[in-house]
């Protein structure tokens, strides 16, 4: 059997020793930014749990609406119940996040998740048993203890990548893309389960995914950030308050764009395409988030200027009455949102006191939710009074307001 070797071959030609070149070997492929990101020990496991637990965030609302409306025959009741849950979340979430920072993710997130899951199960039982309406409000309000899984995941990345700003930027871009994916895919899964299986299937599946993902996520103790010592770190509210003024109009933009698009498509007899068109907007944001993570971050002002210009595209496209143009405009508008959110969230990281990052992140998310609620309500009123096209001016106004806040300097913060 011949001996195989990779050493250079040597031959003698006359009196000259010739060394033949070694066979060419392709150079090892350098991993990209996301390959390097997930080479850190434990990151793949906690990310898997994070994604499983995060998907239900896009499922709970529509599942509750379809279940309650289907069983009770009242969309008004369904909307009121989910609105109450959102209000409860705005009050409870910062306190839950504070406890997570103080006592650790696993110690707080697991029991808080169990309470939320029990609330979902209670809602299913109350709806199925035709219990009084107040029991639906009480049950759904209990789900407000659901921990901010996105904030906890970002806190882990921040702890792991504290000495690598470039990798941290990539991680934050990935997290924003994950948000968009879950809020795009979650409602699709929920609607299918509630309509094709049984009305309670969406809520039941979301609760099971939440608990499973949270248990997997919190079991990865090696990547968990250290808890803050008693009294360590001032409350992040004062530090992030100027930024909350920025996140409020961004939320208003999201809420008004969604309601206006739904109304516009319905008014033109294109209601069946609503899911696809809104999905394109979320897909654009998801793709842009991943792409943005592979490049150097831009300034917040640059992102806000781009966002303001992009928000004008759906308004112009809607005026033409073309579904294709509107879909393309929403895709481009979505691509401008992820870089803005990634850059704005990086400001939260910069100003939040050490050991209080999850609470600071949750305050920002609460401001976004408040803006979404305001934007949805305002857009609905404008649609009733001005038709289904003019309210596309509201996202433009919200983006310009966010730009004005950023230009005024309130969104600037020193890096830690």
Question: Same topology for domains 43-227 and 238-416, yes or no?
Answer: yes
Report the pLDDT value the prediction gives residue 228, as an integer from 0 to 100.
Answer: 67
Which pLDDT belongs to residue 142? 92
Residue 26's pLDDT is 53
Under 8 Å between Cβ of 362 and 148: yes
| Winning range, highest mean pLDDT, from 21-25, 235-239, 393-397 | 393-397
Architecture of domain 238-416: Up-down Bundle (1.20)
Q: What would the two tokens of residue 163 be?
A: 């000495």
Helix 75-103 to helix 60-72 angle (10° resolution) is 150
CA distance 248 to 379: 15
Output the pLDDT for position 274.
74
Q: For residue 321, is pLDDT > 60?
A: yes
The percentage of the chain sitting over the pLDDT mark of 70, rounded to a whole number, equals 89
The CA-atom distances, in angstroms, between 123 and each of 51, 63, 71, 128, 139 are 24, 11, 12, 8, 5
**Residue 391 confidence (pLDDT) above 60:** yes
Question: Residue 264: pLDDT above 70?
Answer: yes
Mean pLDDT value across residues 251-267: 85
The pLDDT tens digits for 108-121 are 999 999 999 999 99
pLDDT in tens, 361-384: 888 888 888 888 788 878 888 888
* pLDDT mean across residues, the chain: 83
pLDDT, position 182: 84
Tens digits of per-residue pLDDT, 73-89?
777 788 788 878 888 88
How far is it, in rounded angstroms, from Cα 86 to Cα 397?
Answer: 25
pLDDT digits over 187-220, tens only? 778 878 887 888 888 899 999 999 999 999 999 8
Closest CA to 204 of 196, 194, 195: 194
Least confident of 51-65, 104-118, 300-314, 327-341: 51-65
Q: Could you read off the pLDDT of 142-178 as tens digits, one per residue?
A: 999 999 898 899 889 888 888 888 888 888 888 888 8
**What are the domain boundaries of the chain?**
43-227, 238-416
Q: Can you name the CATH fold of 43-227?
A: Growth Hormone; Chain: A; (1.20.1250)
How large is the average pLDDT for residues 330-346? Answer: 89
Please report, for residues 35, 85, 380, 398, the alpha-carbon distance to residue 249 in angstroms, rounded to integers and kept in the order given. 35, 22, 17, 5
CA quadruple 77, 82, 87, 88: dihedral, nearest 10: 110
Rounded CA separation 99/155 (Å): 14
Q: Rounded to an integer, what distance in angstroms lies between the CA atom of residue 370 and that of residue 248?
A: 7
């Amino acid at each position: 059997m011949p001996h195989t070797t990779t050493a250079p071959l040597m031959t003698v030609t006359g009196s000259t020793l010739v060394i033949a070149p070694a066979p060419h070997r392709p150079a090892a492929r350098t991993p990209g930014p996301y390959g390097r990101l997930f080479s850190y020990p434990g990151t793949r496991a906690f990310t898997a749990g994070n994604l499983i637990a995060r998907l239900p965030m896009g499922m709970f609302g529509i599942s509750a609406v379809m279940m309650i409306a289907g069983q009770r025959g009242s969309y008004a009741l369904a909307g009121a119940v989910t609105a109450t849950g959102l209000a409860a979340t705005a009050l409870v979430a910062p306190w839950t996040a504070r406890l997570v920072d103080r006592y650790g993710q696993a110690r707080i997130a697991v029991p808080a998740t169990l309470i939320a899951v029990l609330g979902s199960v209670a809602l299913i039982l109350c709806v199925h048993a035709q219990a009084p309406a107040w029991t639906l409000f009480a049950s759904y309000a209990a789900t407000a203890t659901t921990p901010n899984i996105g904030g906890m995941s970002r806190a882990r990345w921040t702890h792991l990548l504290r000495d690598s700003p470039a990798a941290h930027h990539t991680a934050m871009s990935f997290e924003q893309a994950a948000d968009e994916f879950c809020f795009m895919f979650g409602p699709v899964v929920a609607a299918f389960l509630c309509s094709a299986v049984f009305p309670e299937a969406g809520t039941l599946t979301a609760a099971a995914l939440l608990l499973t993902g949270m248990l997997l996520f919190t079991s990865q103790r090696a990547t968990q950030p250290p808890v803050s010592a008693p009294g360590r770190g001032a409350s992040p509210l004062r530090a992030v308050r100027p930024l909350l003024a920025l996140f409020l109009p961004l939320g208003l933009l999201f809420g008004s764009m969604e309601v206006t698009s739904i109304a516009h498509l319905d008014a033109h007899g294109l209601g069946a395409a609503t899911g696809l068109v809104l999905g394109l907007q979320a897909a654009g944001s998801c793709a842009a988030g991943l792409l943005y993570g592979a490049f150097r971050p831009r300034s917040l002002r640059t992102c806000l200027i781009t966002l303001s210009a992009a928000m004008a595209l759906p308004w112009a496209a809607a005026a033409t009455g073309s579904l294709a143009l509107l879909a393309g405009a929403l895709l481009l508008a979505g691509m401008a949102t992820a870089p803005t959110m990634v850059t704005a969230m990086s400001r939260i990281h910069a100003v939040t006191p050490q050991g209080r990052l999850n609470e600071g992140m949750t305050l920002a998310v609460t401001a976004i939710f408040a803006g979404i609620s305001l934007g949805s309500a305002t857009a609905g009123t404008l649609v009733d009074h001005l038709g289904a096209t003019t309210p596309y001016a509201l996202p433009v106004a919200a983006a310009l307001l966010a730009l004005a806040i950023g230009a005024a300097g309130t969104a600037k913060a020193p890096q830690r």
